[in-house]
Structure 1
Amino acid sequence: MKGRAVDLVLAGSGLCAGALMFVTGQWQARVAPAWLFVPLVVCCGALLLRRTAPLASVLVGTAAVAGDVVIGPSLATPLVYTQVLYDACLHGRAALARALLAVSVIGSVVTAAVCLVVVRDVRALGLAVLLALVTVVPILTGSHVRHHRDQATIARRSAEQVARLAEADRANAVAAERAGMARELHDVIANHLSAAAIHATAALSADLGPDGTRQALTVIRENSVQGLAEMRRMIGFLRDPAAVAEAAPGGLAALDDLVARCGVPVGLSVTGAPERVPVSVDLAAYRILQESLANALKHGDGGPVAVAVACTAAAVDLRVDSGLARRPVPGLGGAGLIGMRERAALLGGTLTAGPDGDRWIVAAHLPLDAP
């Protein structure tokens, strides 16, 4: 609607300008002066088609100029015709602009040649120059403006695409960060709270005697203190990412301490050189073993758990073999397996976990050349 109003204003302005020229005597009519307005009105009407039908607008405008030459000629109609050509190049197809330019250049050259050959007067070249001004100049101007407009459109779309990609990257980064925080919170806090809950349940549901009750309370206290310490380290890391070394757990080098406080008997076998494992793989291996031992405590049969860690030059292989007989303690289910698989996948490794008869096997392969 706004574009249509602009077309009407433009056509009306051309008509008013032509009327003003007519009043001031800027015309030469071979017929009755009233007919001079016919080509002008037709040419102004062609402006109404400049957006919807550029080719039709050019054809109507050309016919109006031809009629004006026969009747007059006047100055107003050719001036309006320059706007018609300009708009055709601006709003029409690129092929139309190229065709108009070719025709106008050829027409100007042919006119100049005819003037020199037939009239044999250099002053007759003024007609060719006038034809070039009326046709070639507005066509070149419209094509130039269209080129810059198209370039601006391409640049704007490119900027919008870059903005969308940046927003997608930001959203992915936030999602990955939230997933990482969820894994860390689960591994840091949930395992200690699970151990505390299991021993509290045992102390409440059975007569353990003074020694058993004291042992259960000792385990509850140790897990509570350890969980609080790890929570403080994690909060410190979130506040200051440079404190990653302080926030990270001991890794594979601290497996003896992990085994000692896991709450189940563990047979630990470590081969290779854990101290040469990269930090990212070291942390992932530690968390996977931590979660596996916590699951053995929550869901195992209370028997020995076999933990094997093999460090080679290419990867770290983990295997946790535990009994599967105890019924799960209500309220202790979580997302441990999901977190372990995510940790392995982030390093380009694999993790499988599932029953094998009456045993529960967790096996992980973590390559050292992590992406």
Structure 2
Amino acid sequence: MRIALRPLLRYQLVVDLVAAGLFGLIAIVLELQPGDIGGNLGAVLFVALLAAAFAFRRLHPGVGLALAWAGAIAQMAFLRSPTPTDVVIFAVLYGTAAYGSRRVFWAGLASSVGGAVVVTVYLIVRGGAEVYHPQDAFAVLAVLLSSGFAFLLSWVTGALVRTAARASANARAQRAAEEATVAEQERVRIARDMHDVVAHSLAVVIAQADGARYAAAQDPAAATQALSTISSTARAALTDVRLLLTQLRHSQADGPQPALADVETLYAQVRAAGVELHTMVDPGPGVEPPAAVQLALYRILQEALTNALRHGVDRRVSVRFAWHPERVELSVRNRRAAGAAPTTGGHGVIGMRERAQLAGGTLSAQPEGEDFVVRATLPIGTSS
């Protein structure tokens, strides 16, 4: 049968073995009596078992407890008196509660109670005492309670250390889980920003490149203008991507954080890609919304326009903002191809929905008749 040892650091193992060896040497000097050959043989056996129990108290508390019981039995078999060597028993009981398995833990408790009874009975038998008088019964009770208290105190101390260690381990695990969750959320946020930046910019670049290819033969000026738009869009996307990569390397760095003031630039990029864009703001904003709301609105609008540029059957897109005292509503509508599948669960739609939810709002993206409509409602927290 293989004994499973607790993993100890090298220095802990060395300290336990050296301490057990020193204890054995000191104990054997105290226990040996000149000329008492039989008693000295019992002393050697008794000390050897308790020294081994001391060595195993952390390495394998169950083995340590068994060796401690064997040492106690050897002590009683040779009718030896209690000595300072017995202090090892307290260390072993502490180890069963602090380091032992569940079975060893409860075996330590049973040994504390049973050991007190055994000690009391042994002292009575060894002393030849007969309990006839009330004062003798009181003495027996005193021995039972005092030994039981000492054993249980060692075991309870180990149990408290065990509880504190588990609480500390649970706290570390909880902190690690929280840090992993925060890191995962940050990775998701960065991935969402990367998707929004790259997808939109590439959609504009592709649309301009296709337009320039067809217009180059008839209108070189249009091709030149398209190439200029491609260049500026790609440069802006490269800057944003560099910021995002910097943020991946250094979490304290700020990524691209556009606001509603940048919406006109976004409109210009989309119109330069050949989109017939109609915008309306009714009613207009009364106060400046929070930065988180502005960022969410910008990214949702950017992704919705990108999807319209990719999947729209024609180049007509309408955008409407409606600012109310307590909320803002955004809708982006474009004509979808006849018979097109209602794909509403892509990464872009998921990202838009997550942004709306993080800002405390809602988002829907679904076909309505011949159109595909994205609707977002976000609270702006100005209601009285």
For the aligned pair, the TM-score class normalised by the smaller chain equals 0.5 to 0.7
> Is the 1:90–1:145 Cα contact (8 Å) retained in structure 2?
no
Question: Which residue is equivalent to 1:346?
Answer: 358
CA positional deviation for 1:102: 5.9
The Cα of 1:290 is off from its aligned counterpart by 3.1
Structure 2 contact 327–378 (Cα < 8 Å) conserved: yes
TM-score by length of 2: 0.63
Partner of 1:88: 93
- Report the CA distance shift for 1:243/1:57 in structure 2 as closer, same or farther (over 3 A): closer
Q: For the aligned residues, what is the CA RMSD? A: 5.1
Structure 1, 191-200 or 97-106: larger mean CA deviation: 97-106
Match of residue 113 from structure 2: 99
Map of 2:278 onto structure 1: 267
Report the 3-state secondary structure (helix = DSSP H, G, I; strand = E; otherwise coil) of the residue aligned with 1:221.
helix
Which residue of 2 is the match for residue 78 of structure 1?
Answer: 83
Q: Does 1:66 align with 2:76?
A: yes
Which of 165, 176, 194 is the aligned partner of 2:177? 165
Aligned to 1:322: 334
1:288 to 290, 294, 300: 300
CA–CA distance in structure 2, aligned partners of residues 283 and 7 of structure 1: 64
In the alignment, the residues of structure 2 paired with residue 173 and residue 108 of structure 1 have an alpha-carbon distance, to the nearest angstrom, of: 66
Distance 2:214 2:351 in 1: 27
1:168-208 per-residue CA deviation (whole Å, 9 max, x = no partner) reads 1453244134224313422663343233233234336xx5x
Match of 1:40 among 40, 43, 52: 43
> Residue type matched to 2:38 in 1?
W
Question: Given that residues 61 and 81 in structure 1 are in contact (C-alpha distance below 8 angstroms), is that contact kept between their aligned partners in structure 2?
Answer: no
Q: AA paired with 2:225?
A: T
Q: Which amino acid aligns with 1:218?
A: Q
Aligned with 1:304 (options 316, 319, 325): 316
Alignment of 1:1-371 (within 5 A): 10=20, 14=24, 17-18=27-28, 21-22=31-32, 24=34, 33-37=36-40, 39-40=42-43, 43-44=46-47, 46-47=49-50, 51-52=61-62, 57=67, 60-69=70-79, 78-91=83-96, 93=106, 95-96=109-110, 98-99=112-113, 103=117, 139=151, 142-143=154-155, 146=158, 149-150=161-162, 153-154=165-166, 156-158=168-170, 160-165=172-177, 167-186=179-198, 189-203=201-215, 209-210=218-219, 213-229=220-236, 231-232=238-239, 248=259, 250-251=261-262, 257=268, 260-261=271-272, 263-274=274-285, 275-302=287-314, 304-325=316-337, 336-369=348-381
Q: Is the 8 A contact 1:195 1:263 kept in 2?
A: yes
Do the aligned partners of 1:300 and 1:324 also contact (CA within 8 Å) in 2?
yes
Shift of residue 221, structure 1, vs aligned partner: 1.7
Q: Secondary structure at the match of 1:317?
A: strand
> Take 1:44 and 1:7, find their aligned partners in 2: how far apart are those partners?
15
Check whether the contact 1:192–1:227 (CA below 8 A) recurs between aligned residues.
no
Which amino acid is 1:96 matched to? A
The alpha carbon displacement at 1:167 in A equals 4.1
1:303, 1:179 → 2: CA distance? 28
CA 1:197/1:143 → structure 2, altered by over 3 Å: closer, same or farther? same
- How far apart are the structure 1 equivalents of 2:309 and 2:339? 11
Give the residue type in structure 1 aligned to 2:110: L
Larger radius of gyration: 1
Distance 1:100 1:263 in 2: 90
| 1:6-34 alpha-carbon deviations (Å, 9 max, x no partner) | 78995997489547753546xxxxxxx43
Runs of at least 5 residues in structure 1 that lack an aligned partner in the other structure: 26-32, 329-333
1:320 partner letter: V
- Counterparts in 2 of 1:355 and 1:335: CA distance versus 1, 3 Å: same
Q: Which runs of 5+ in 2 are unaligned?
A: 7-12, 97-104, 341-345
Following the alignment from structure 2 to structure 1, what is the Cα–Cα distance between the partners of residues 122 and 324?
83
**Dislocated runs of 4+, deviation >6 Å:** 1-9, 104-111, 242-245, 253-256
Q: Which residue of 2 aligns with 1:28?
A: none
Structure 2 CA distance for aligned equivalents of residues 256 and 13 of structure 1: 84
Q: TM-score normalised to the size of structure 1?
A: 0.65
Q: Percent identity?
A: 24
Distance in 1 separating the partners of 2:315 and 2:17: 89
Per-residue CA shift, 1:314-337, capped at 9, x if unaligned?
322222222224999xxxxx9543
AA partner of residue 264 (structure 1) = V
Distance in 2 separating the partners of 1:221 and 1:325 = 30
CA–CA distance in structure 2, aligned partners of residues 181 and 255 of structure 1: 15
Cα distance in 2 between the residues matched to 1:16 and 1:242? 66
Q: State whether residues 194 and 298 of structure 1, in contact with CA within 8 Å, keep that contact through their aligned partners in structure 2.
A: no
- How big is each residue's C-alpha offset from its partner over 1:242-264, in whole Å with a ceiling of 9 and x where there is no partner? 7977x546255777656754522
Amino acid at match of 1:78: T
Which letter does structure 1 place at the counterpart of 2:92? D
